[in-house]
Amino acid sequence: MRAMVLTRVGAPLSLEQRSDPEPGPSELSIRVEACGVCRTDLHVVDGELPNVRTPIVPGHEVVGRVERVGADVHGFARGDRVGVPWLGRACGVCSYCREGRENLCDHPSFTGYDRDGGYATHIVAEAAFVVRLPDDADAAATAPLLCAGLIGWRALKIAGPGRRVGLYGFGAAAHIVAQVCRCEGREVYAFTRPGDGPAQRFARGLGASWAGGSDEPAPAPLDAAILFAPVGALVPAALRATRKGGRVVCAGIHMSDIPSFPYRWLWEERVIASVANLTRADAAEFFAVASRAEVRTEVVRYPLADANRALADLRDGRLQGAAVLEP
């Protein structure tokens, strides 16, 4: 197998050849067809998340075909199409898992962070945590749904049923959430980097009622705002844009420091919330919603060996939609 490997935090990924992975008793060995490039991967590579294990193969938006099945696994066969998301395993016994909140598990494992991910030709995954996927879907177009889509869906649920939804940062996740909102009859207000005309046109093309820079005031009070951009200064800006009782949801795994702001901006029962990881139930819900909403992802395809270029394009804001590696 071939894999793009992070050997040192902050260093470029290096292409390595390895022996094909053997699945453990509860695992599947999967041939990777496509792997999305997520902003979380950037946080891993750039050392913005704690305790990054090296060497590590990044990537947690994985679409592939089962090649080998572990001795204790039932219900899967060679050739089955599956997805491997961020949550690679949960303990099943901590209080959070017992309450149905495995996304907050005390002893989790995360794909591409503490177990090897999908920037490779092959991956091993816990069978209980993979997502069954349709055979006829385009692998590259499906890959972003496994994190950008799932986290976007969880953030939208936490944001509540409000009609006017602001999306701060219009990239992979926001362009999926915008389509779900449109299906549900909501109004989308897209906030991009100031002066980013292409992103604003992209948002309007997906049905946004308004698109402008994050330094511009919202044209109408928002019921909720979801922050996909990892910029702490957007939190007080989003609070000021929301109506009384509104919610501001921080959807990223990492964010720069939030500056201080007057309490009156939070007052009147506005709420700031964060989203952490995902559950298997989220996946079941979201893929049904995505099918009903006829979600179509905008992807830029890269060969596996160009993973560093894909990460750089994401870091520098050169993408519309999502980057995807195709081994």
What pLDDT score does 222 carry?
98
What pLDDT score does 26 carry?
98
What pLDDT score does 29 carry?
98
CB within 8 A of 264, min separation 6: which ones? none
Structure tokens at 163: 């009609």
pLDDT digits (tens, 9 = 90+) for 114-143: 999 999 999 999 999 999 999 999 999 999
What pLDDT score does 53 carry?
94
Structure tokens at 302: 């890269």
Q: What would the 3-class secondary structure string for the chain be?
A: CEEEEECCCCCCCEEEECCCCCCCCCEEEEEEEEEEECHHHHHHHCCCCCCCCCCECCCCCEEEEEEEECCCCCCCCCCCEEEECCEEECCCCCHHHHCCCHHHCCCCEEECCCECCCCECEEEEEHHHCEECCCCCCHHHHHHHHCHHHHHHHHHHHHCCCCEEEEECCCHHHHHHHHHHHHCCCEEEEEECCCCHHHHHHHHHCCCCEEEECCCCCCCCEEEEEECCCCCCHHHHHHHHEEEEEEEEECCCCCCCCCCCCHHHHCCCCEEEECCCCCHHHHHHHHHHHHHHCCCCCEEEEEHHHHHHHHHHHHCCCCCCEEEEEC
Quick check: 50 and 57 in contact, CB under 8 A? Answer: no
What pLDDT score does 182 carry?
97
What pLDDT score does 185 carry?
97
pLDDT digits (tens, 9 = 90+) for 12-32: 999 999 999 999 999 999 999
Quick check: 108 and 85 in contact, CB under 8 A? Answer: no
> Is the whole model's pTM more than 0.85, yes or no?
yes
Structure tokens at 306: 């160009």
Q: Determine whether 188 is exposed, middle or buried from the number of CB atoms within 10 Å of its CB (0-12, 13-18, 19+).
A: buried
pLDDT digits (tens, 9 = 90+) for 58-94: 999 999 999 999 999 999 999 999 999 999 999 999 9
What pLDDT score does 172 carry?
96
Residues in the chain with pLDDT values less than 50: none
Quick check: 239 and 270 in contact, CB under 8 A? Answer: yes
